[in-house]
């Protein structure tokens, strides 16, 4: 489970997954991209990714992934530029607990 905070730094209300400027949260172990996971019966706050957040406000989002093994996980928040190339907004490496 990855927990992160989305802060709306724009001048108008927007959602993390608003579609206008799509942001993906990808996780990797080694060179393998991990599949996202659904945790039944657990409030993971994934719905927060679609809520409209007022300008200047923040919301916490939890995202789950299926791990391949016990190695460290690299997490990237990625968008794309006008030519379609990936732009990494933030990247962190986390140990598996």
Q: What is the CATH number of the domain that holds 30?
A: 2.60.40.1240
Position 45 pLDDT exceeds 70: no
- Is residue 43 very low, low, confident or very high in pLDDT (cuts 50, 70, 90)? low
How far is the C-alpha of 4 from the C-alpha of 2, rounded, in Å?
7
Q: Are 38 and 58 in contact (CB under 8 A)?
A: no
Sheet with 2-7: list strands edge to edge. 2-7, 58-65, 36-37
- In the prediction, which pLDDT does 75 show? 94
How far is the C-alpha of 78 from the C-alpha of 19, rounded, in Å?
13
Q: Residue 44: which domain range?
A: 2-94
Position 30 pLDDT exceeds 70: yes
- In the prediction, which pLDDT does 69 show? 94
> What's the token pair of residue 91?
């990247």
Report pLDDT digits (tens) over 46-95.
Answer: 678 888 889 999 998 888 899 999 999 999 988 888 888 889 988 999 99
Domain count, the chain: 1
DSSP class per residue in the chain: -EEEEEE--SSS-B-TT-SSS--EEEEEETTEEPPEE--TT----GGGGGS-B-TT-EEEEEEEE--SSSS-EEEEEEEE-TTS-EEEEEEEEE---
């Amino acid at each position: 489970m990855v927990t992160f905070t989305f802060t709306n730094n724009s001048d108008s209300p927007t959602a993390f997954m608003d579609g206008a400027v799509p942001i993906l949260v990808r996780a990797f172990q080694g060179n393998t991209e991990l599949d996202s996971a659904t945790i039944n019966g657990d409030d993971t706050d994934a719905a927060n990714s679609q809520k409209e957040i007022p300008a200047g406000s923040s919301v916490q989002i939890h995202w789950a992934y299926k791990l391949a093994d016990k190695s460290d996980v690299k997490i990237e928040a990625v968008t794309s530029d006008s030519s379609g190339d990936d732009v990494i907004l933030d990247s962190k490496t986390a140990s598996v607990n």
